[in-house]
Chains A and B, each alone.
Chain A
């Protein structure tokens, strides 16, 4: 899976210890940060699973990287 993604200011990049990364939209960034700080990782799991999963698809447009 390789993608060129456009993020924006205020969004959050998070990762979990069992091998997932996620970009959190800015309207939920504070909520996610609070739950991570408080150790409520299950809530973050639940939320992230509802996001769009990036899967192998069309070739990334950034030729030359891969």
Chain B
């Protein structure tokens, strides 16, 4: 689906981004580590851009010891991969080329070094693989109570329809993990807002569109509701399950589309059968705050409970 080995080309219209200052943001506690001291082996974690995960590596010497503290930039390609997955969902996979271009633009706009770009390319493949439950966090904004509640409903709908014995699951078949994770997009403690990297990406993608006939052709396909774009198996699976999405989930999709579009997308009509009614990019839309969710109900509920949300 994605050619992650494709060369990075300069993107017209995207200016290099200045280094983001640390000051001015709001800190929050992600995790308090409980476990062994360094003397007893410590707690092994793997960090890369926005990804932080525990690993089991008892026989590997770590690259760094966090004993004196450390920090790093957390916006990375995996976060983008989550957003791209959503963009793909909204457009049913007809924008692969567009998202490739946007991905490269994002890297350039983000001032990534060549090494970071190589790492991001690897991560990107991981983040956009079917069934990837990356837990990648999109940074850039603080969630509002309203958005959280709306997202919580969306997760409830997604999980409900995503249980293995449901009609939804049977319809999706082997595509359940990806479809479930997308259906489970919810508000969380992080997200992206207008002006953020992903918000800017949407605007950047619109600029790219002007320079690339192939993208123009792709968008033309999207703009015609009667057209049947060439979609991959995963997207086809998602298309098949959209009739089973609940109202809360559709509302989440609507907000998502508004945020991804950044006001620069077509006002209406994406070729998404059964979704046209909710895929209206026009009108007002606040910044959607979300985080990729686990597929399984218990995990999703536990996650939300962590943030005091009961669904």
Interface residues, chain A, with chain B CB atoms under 8 Å away? 1-25, 28-29, 32-33, 36, 41-42, 44-45, 48-49, 51-58, 60-62, 65-66
Q: Which residue of A lies closest to B44 (CB)?
A: A6
Which residues on A sit within 8 Å (CB–CB) of B69? Answer: 11, 22-25, 28, 48, 51-52
Q: How far is the CB of B153 from chain A (nearest CB, A)?
A: 24
Residues from chain A with Cβ under 8 Å of B22 in the complex: 16, 18, 20, 45, 48-49
CB–CB A11/B190 < 8 A: no
Known: A8-B42, A19-B139. 9 other contacts (CB 8 A): A2-B47, A4-B46, A5-B70, A6-B65, A12-B29, A14-B29, A18-B24, A22-B70, A53-B71
| CB proximity to A under 8 Å, residues B97-155 | 113, 115-116, 119, 122-123, 137, 139-142
Question: Would you call B63 and A17 a contact (CB within 8 A)?
Answer: no
Are B45 and A5 closer than 8 Å at their CB atoms?
Answer: yes
| Total A-B pairs, Cβ < 8 A | 214
Which residues of B approach A to under 8 Å, CB–CB? 20-38, 42-50, 52, 55, 57, 60-75, 113, 115-116, 119, 122-123, 137, 139-142, 190, 197
* Chain A residues positioned under 8 Å from B190 (CB to CB): 15, 17
Sample of 27 A–B contacts (CB below 8 Å): A1-B47, A1-B116, A1-B119, A2-B48, A3-B47, A3-B48, A9-B35, A11-B32, A11-B66, A12-B33, A13-B33, A15-B74, A19-B73, A19-B74, A20-B25, A20-B73, A21-B50, A22-B71, A23-B71, A29-B32, A44-B27, A45-B24, A51-B70, A52-B70, A53-B72, A56-B113, A57-B63
CB distance A4 to B55 under 8 Å? yes
Asked if B46 contacts A20 (CB within 8 A), the reply is no
| Interchain nearest-CB distance for B135 vs A (Å) | 13
- How far apart sit A23 and B52, CA to CA, in the bound complex (Å)? 11
Contact between A51 and B71 (Cβ–Cβ < 8 Å)? yes
Using Cβ atoms and an 8 Å threshold, which residues of chain A touch B36?
8-9
